[in-house]
Amino acid sequence: MVLKKSKLIIPITAKTPASALKDISKANKLADLIELRLDCLNNPSSGNIKALVKKSKKPVIATCRFKGEGGEFRGTEIEKSALLEDAIQAGAKYVDLELSMHADLRDYLAGLGARVILSHHDFEDTPLLSHLSNLFDRMQQQRPKAFAFKIVTFARDFEDNARTLMLSQMAAAKKLNLISFCMGDLGKASRILAPAYGGFAFFGSLSEKKNSAPGQITVEDLKKFGLVKK
> What value does the mean pLDDT of the chain take?
96
pLDDT band of 68, cuts 50, 70, 90: confident
How confident is the model at residue 229, as a pLDDT?
85
Q: Which of 120, 150, 188, 210 is catalytic?
A: 150
Residue 229 belongs to a domain: no
How confident is the model at residue 2, as a pLDDT?
33
Residues 6+ apart with CB under 8 A from 216: 11, 183, 191, 203, 204, 205
Q: What is the pLDDT of residues 179-214, one digit of tens each?
A: 999 999 999 999 999 999 999 999 999 999 999 999
Percent of the chain's residues with pLDDT above 90? 95
Q: Report helix, strand or coil for 1.
A: coil
Residues 62, 94 contacting (CB under 8 angstroms) = yes
pLDDT over 70 at 173, yes or no: yes
CA distance 117 to 95: 6
Q: Which of 58, 121, 188, 210 is catalytic?
A: 121
Q: What is the CA radius of gyration of the chain?
A: 16
Q: Report the half-sphere exposure of 177 (CA within 13 A, side-chain side).
A: 16
Residue 124 belongs to a domain: yes
How confident is the model at residue 1, as a pLDDT?
28
How confident is the model at residue 41, as a pLDDT?
97
Q: Report helix, strand or coil for 141.
A: coil
Domain of 65: which CATH number?
3.20.20.70
Residue 2 belongs to a domain: no
Residue 202 belongs to a domain: yes
Residue 175 among the catalytic residues: no
Q: What is the pLDDT of residues 6-63, one digit of tens each?
A: 999 999 999 999 999 999 999 999 999 999 999 999 989 999 999 999 999 999 999 9
Residue 37 belongs to a domain: yes
What is the number of domains present in the chain? Answer: 1
Q: What average pLDDT score do residues 59-68 get?
A: 96
Residues 180, 135 contacting (CB under 8 angstroms) = no
Tell me the residue range of the domain where 81 lies: 7-224
Residue 102 among the catalytic residues: no
Q: Please tell me what DSSP assigns to residue 66.
A: B
pLDDT band of 3, cuts 50, 70, 90: very low
CA distance 142 to 103: 8
CA distance 187 to 8: 18
Residue 1 belongs to a domain: no
Residue 30 belongs to a domain: yes
Q: What's the whole-model pTM score?
A: 0.96
CA distance 37 to 117: 14
